[in-house]
Chain A
Amino acid sequence: MTIAGEVRSASQIGAPPEAGHRLHPGAWLAWLSGGCAAVFLTSNPLYLSLAFLVGTGVYLSVRESPKGRAFGAFVLIGLVFAVISIPFNVLTGSSGPSVIATMPELSFPSWFGGFTLGGDITGESLMTATNRALGIATLVVFAGAFNASIDHFRLMRLAPRALSQLMLTLTVAIVVLPQAVAHARSVAEAQRLRGKPARGLRALPGLLLPTLHGALERSVQRAESMDARGFGGGDGAGGGAFAGVVGVLGLGVATWGAFAHYWYGAGLLPTLAIAGGVVLVGIALLRGAGVETTRLRADRWAPLDAFIAIAAVLAVVLMLALRMNGAGDAGYLAYPEVVAPAFHPVGAIAMLLLLAPALASGARGTRS
Chain B
Amino acid sequence: MSGTFNTVIQLIYVAAASCFVLGLHLMNNPATARRGNQVSVAGMIAAIAATGALVIHGGLIDATGWIVIAAGVLVGGGLGLYTARTVKMTAMPQLVSIFNAVGGGAAALVAIRDFMTIGSGIGASTSVPTLLDVIIGSVTFSGSIIAAGKLQGVITSAPVSFPGARIVNMLLAVIAVGFGAYVIASPNMIGLGVVIAAALIFGVSMVMPIGGADMPVVISLLNAFTGTAVAMAGFVINNTALIIAGALVGASGGILTKLMADAMNRSIGNIMIGGFGQGDAIVAAAGVAGAGVQSIAADDAAIQLAYASKVIIVPGYGLAAAQAQHEVAALADLLESRGVDVSYAIHPVAGRMPGHMNVLLAEANVPYPLLKEMDEINPEFGRTDVALVIGANDVTNPAARRAGTAISGMPILDVDAAKSIIVIKRSMGHGYAGIDNELYTNPKTSMFFADAKKGLAQLTASVKTLVG
Interaction A to B: no
